[in-house]
Structure 1
Amino acid sequence: MPALTKAQQKQVQAAEDSFNRTYAVQYGDERWENSLRPALVTPTRYGVLINCYRSNSLPSSFTENDVTDLQLITFPSSTGASNGEVAEETRLLSYQRITTSETSQSPTAEAPFPAPQAVSNKDASNSLMTHWNLDAASLLAVSILRPKPGDKVLDLCAAPGGKSLSLAQLLRPQTYDDAAPSLMGGCLHSNEVDAARNRRLSSNLQSYLPAPLFKNGEIKVVKVDGTEQHAAQMLPLGIGGYDKVLLDAPCSSERHVIHAHSKARQGGRVADEMASWRSGQSKKMAKTQAAILMTALKAVKVGGRVLYATCSLSNEENDGVIEKGKELVAKEKKKFGTRWDMAVRSGDFAGTGLEQWAESTKHGWIVLPDHPSGGRWGPLFFAVLEKVSA
């Protein structure tokens, strides 16, 4: 590949400088340069979620060394259950590699988990994939939303499917019958508007979840544009049809930009992600996110909860979208006389152990890889919202 011209080098350097200035202002110069940015440059850390629709034990592909190196991931307590209910213990069977204070301070790339496998035999459940590797912050978000057996759940921006699989694990009743699988009144609708990503989502979920759940309609993959004003009406259960909605919104994904830029520089190239980055793009992205948030709020029932999440570092795409959501709800009430409102419930989770994962923000929480706990998860921002009577 030809070397960059001086003009191109200048353009890339200007974009990188602007990127660093933007987040140094938000997080402080010292933290950004000495802690947060170095943590974001390191490889993303993964946990492993066991597919309990197949087995409740580690797959045979995990070696003895793998097993001795693993630690069960525990999530915050159930104090933040909605409507005063006492939530079940979170039944997400997931593991992380054991870290020490030394590895937390000087993180290195961890050995990858074995790839998911499916072993075909007469037992249909054993033809399902064994596990899913993902950032444990995603599992934290699902555990905070706390879907329970019998809930009707919507995953509004679901591809590639890791969070949908996690949601499906919690919808599985304790009395679940592998021979005649059923969610016993509950359902999971996983939505993705992009055609290619929708196909991938469908393929992934069918590889992990029992076929009868699709045949009886308890699990569906749907294709609705969440930014459309009447999107909620096009969902299978329509307006107010869902108990819980997970919205992991499309975002600027700055850690991906940092990784792409770092990799390109090592090869003497420039990453398009950094070259095209502009400080104003979060403002544009936030408009899209707020529109999808309104769809989520319309889709959930009064008394139900929405968990809004992004993997963005930007306040504009995080707390800022919650502010925009409040404004849009107010406009909706004034224009159409709607009889519901949005309440922020993120504070319900203070003192539950969530502080070991995340730091609080104005309206939510954010998991960052330089958190003092040494977990090295994230970034992931989330806010817990409840649809209440106006």
Structure 2
Amino acid sequence: MPALTKAQKKLAQAAEDSFHRTYAAQFGEERWQQTLYPALAGSTRYAALTNRFAVADLDAVLSPEQAAKLQPIGFPRGADLSGSTPILSFQWDVSEAEATFPPPQPDSSSGLMTHWNLDAASLLAVNVLNPKPGDKVFDLCAAPGGKSVALSQFLRPDTYDGASPTLGGGCLHSNEVNTGRNKRLASNLQSYLPETLFKTGEVKVLKLDGTEPFSVRTLPLGPGSYDRVLLDAPCSSERHVIHAHVKAKQSGRLADEMTSWRSGHSKKMAKIQVALLMSALKAVRVGGRVLYATCSLSNDENDGVIEKGMELVQKERKKLGVKWDFAVRSGDLAAQGLAEWAEPTKHGWLVLPDHPSGGKWGPLFFALLEKAEG
């Protein structure tokens, strides 16, 4: 590998310095340098989501030694969530250097995959959206499919019959516009959910461009028809940038993710995110809820997107006669124990791996929105 030139080193250092300045300004120099950045640079921690379409008890498919290391995760369950089906999820023993979990495997009887490994912050977000059996749910940016699998667990009726599976009048429509990611999404969902659900149309994989203003008109149920919409928007994913940077630096290389990073990138991403948010709001029914989420640290991509969405809805109400509005419901969650997981922001909540709880989850921002009559 050729040695780095002075110009390359200078460019890399400038990008890294700008990165640190940007987030130190947002989170405070002391926190950023002493706790948050080191936590972000550390290994990502995973939890295991049980696929209840395949197994009733994850312990049954693990060795006794593996099962002994399971620690159930308790999500906030306030009054608004008391009737919802719990997500059966577990964390691996955190004393291990790599807090990973055994990989998913096909269940011997159903053939479906037994569990999905993902950050527990993602499961928290689905828990907050709180779909119920019978709900019509739209996952707007669904690939690779972990959150869709989590949503499916809530939609599984208590009277579920494995012999003739049904969502009891509900549906799960999972969308991804990128061709490669769409194929991966479809493959993953087919590995986790009963084939019958696809044949009946209760589960569909869509390929719509959510940034196009009229894309919601082509939804299977049409605009304004979904009870719950999850928008896990594409974002700057700073933790990915940090991991690539740390790995490259250890071997004397430069990571493109860091050298190409610019402070204005978040504002460009926010334009895409706002367009997706408007589609999500148009897809949900009046009285239904949208959960907007990103794994970004940037205010521009988080609270800033919610505020821009507010502005655009008001413009459409004035110019186009739109009859609906939306209200932020994130504050309603404060009494449900979310402070044990996340810190409040202006319009939502932010899960970060240096949280005092020691969970080491995130980053994940989410805001709960409710569509209302104008």
CA, structure 1 residues 140+374, in 2 after alignment: closer, same or farther (shift >3 Å)? same
Answering whether residue 276 of structure 2 is matched by residue 292 of structure 1, we say yes
Q: Aligned match of 1:376 in 346, 360, 370? A: 360
**CA deviation digits over 1:261-307, x for unaligned, max 9?**
00011111111100100000000100100000000000000000000
Q: Following the alignment from structure 1 to structure 2, what is the Cα–Cα distance between the partners of residues 183 and 361?
A: 35
Answering whether residue 69 of structure 2 is matched by residue 69 of structure 1, we say yes
Q: Following the alignment from structure 1 to structure 2, what is the Cα–Cα distance between the partners of residues 23 and 326?
A: 25
TM-score, normalisation: structure 2 = 0.98
Question: Which residue type is aligned with residue 270 of structure 1?
Answer: L
Q: Following the alignment from structure 1 to structure 2, what is the Cα–Cα distance between the partners of residues 341 and 193?
A: 27
Secondary structure of the corresponding residue to residue 160 of structure 1: coil
Which residue number in structure 2 is paired with residue 192 of structure 1? 176
Deviation at 1:98, TM superposition (A): 4.0
Which residue number in structure 1 is paired with residue 104 of structure 2? 116
Q: Aligned match of 2:92 in 88, 97, 105? A: 97
Deviation at 1:114, TM superposition (A): 1.2
How many residues align structurally? Answer: 374
Deviation at 1:59, TM superposition (A): 5.4
Unpaired runs of 5+ in structure 1?
82-86
Which residue number in structure 2 is paired with residue 29 of structure 1? 29
**CA deviation digits over 1:23-70, x for unaligned, max 9?**
000000000000100000000000001110011111555232221121
Which residue number in structure 2 is paired with residue 261 of structure 1? 245
Percent identity, please.
67
Question: Which residue type is aligned with residue 89 of structure 2?
Answer: S
Which residue number in structure 1 is paired with residue 4 of structure 2? 4
Deviation at 1:72, TM superposition (A): 0.6
Q: Following the alignment from structure 2 to structure 1, what is the Cα–Cα distance between the partners of residues 93 and 107?
A: 28
Which residue number in structure 1 is paired with residue 113 of structure 2? 129
Unpaired runs of 5+ in structure 2?
none
Q: CA RMSD in A?
A: 1.2
Q: Following the alignment from structure 2 to structure 1, what is the Cα–Cα distance between the partners of residues 140 and 102?
A: 29
Q: Following the alignment from structure 1 to structure 2, what is the Cα–Cα distance between the partners of residues 173 and 88?
A: 12
Question: Which residue type is aligned with residue 87 of structure 2?
Answer: L
Deviation at 1:112, TM superposition (A): 2.5
Deviation at 1:384, TM superposition (A): 0.2
Answering whether residue 197 of structure 2 is matched by residue 202 of structure 1, we say no
Answering whether residue 231 of structure 2 is matched by residue 247 of structure 1, we say yes
Residues 42, 109 of structure 1: 8 Å contact kept: no
Q: Following the alignment from structure 1 to structure 2, what is the Cα–Cα distance between the partners of residues 96 and 230?
A: 41
Deviation at 1:229, TM superposition (A): 0.8
Question: Which residue type is aligned with residue 187 of structure 2?
Answer: S
Secondary structure of the corresponding residue to residue 335 of structure 2: coil
Which residue number in structure 1 is paired with residue 44 of structure 2? 44
Question: Which residue type is aligned with residue 233 of structure 2?
Answer: A
Residues 84, 130 of structure 2: 8 Å contact kept: no
